[in-house]
Amino acid sequence: MRCPVCNRETTRSGNPYRPFCSERCKLIDPSHWLSERYRIASEVETAEQPVETSRAPQVAKESRG
């Protein structure tokens, strides 16, 4: 398997830092998350995109004056 930080070849058995190759790489990984170098993709709703609450067609009311 390969280290997710430096991409070096590493072993799973007998490695106290797995899935990383070394203590150094294990300590670098959290900083990548905190600096937002790693991200989890998701859909984000913005104020510009209205959220639909109903699928029923809306009928406009006519004002009579």
Q: Which CATH number does the domain housing residue 25 bear?
A: 3.30.50.10
Mean pLDDT of all residues belonging to the chain: 78
Work out how many domains the chain is built from and give that number: 1
**pLDDT at position 11:** 86
Q: Which residue has the tokens 């799973």?
A: 12
**pLDDT at position 8:** 92
Does 58 map to a domain?
no
Distance CA 6, CA 61 (A): 63
Where in the sequence is the domain holding 33, given as residue range(s)? Answer: 1-39
Does 54 map to a domain?
no
pLDDT digit string, tens, across residues 36-52: 877 788 877 666 655 56
**pLDDT at position 62:** 63
**pLDDT at position 38:** 75
Does 20 map to a domain?
yes
Does 64 map to a domain?
no
